[in-house]
Amino acid sequence: MPLRLTPRDTTFFDLLTELAQHLVTGSNLLAEMLGADRPERKELAKRLSEAEHDADESTHSIMRRLNQTFVTPFDRDDIYELTSSLDDCMDFMEEAADLIVLYRIGELPARVSDQVQVLQRAAELTAEAMPRLRGMNDLAEYWVEVNRLENQADKAHRKLLAELFDNVSDPIELMKLKEIVEILEAAADGFEKVANTVETIALKES
């Protein structure tokens, strides 16, 4: 690792960990929504929106500190990229939950659960990985597994789209479900982007 002569602000690691923990909360609330009835979904979506607001606060805290700190733990642009990517994951999950309520979706297709389970596992792995950035230790398994999960999500996404076109006859309902499915896929892509950014950081710091 390159020699650093100036002390680094290690608060970034705590803030990134805090931000990632909000993603775990968000993914778990999204999973709860799948089996809930409409009134319960509305309450869960509200709680997910609150978690998204908390994630935004964590994001803003990182960005403020980034602007105030002369020497950062690793490349300034990489911190920005990592923070923005984490925030995007939360935004996608909150958007999917919001649309499930706004579109008054009834029973969601079973394969949506496969998508959300991937998001839950990716969120857990991401939250576990953030503290390890402090020493850049044992991170390779994290990004390899998240990339594997994203490939799994891609397959679930393709099968789900095929089932929607085969089984949903109402074009308006089809459009609504397709939009939600696409947003969940975007969330899975977002977690892969986070993992790829972590890999880039680790390689730069090695």
* Domains of the chain and any CATH numbers: 11-205 (1.20.58.220)
Distance CA 159, CA 65 (A): 43
48-68 mean pLDDT: 94
User: 71 versus 22: which is more confidently predicted?
Assistant: 22
Cβ-Cβ contacts under 8 Å for 144 (sequence gap 6 or more): none
Longest dimension (CA), the chain: 65
Judged against a pLDDT cut of 70, whether residue 49 lies above it is answered with yes
Distance CA 147, CA 116 (A): 16
* Number of Cβ within a 10 Å radius of residue 150: 20
Q: pTM value?
A: 0.92
pLDDT at 7: 45
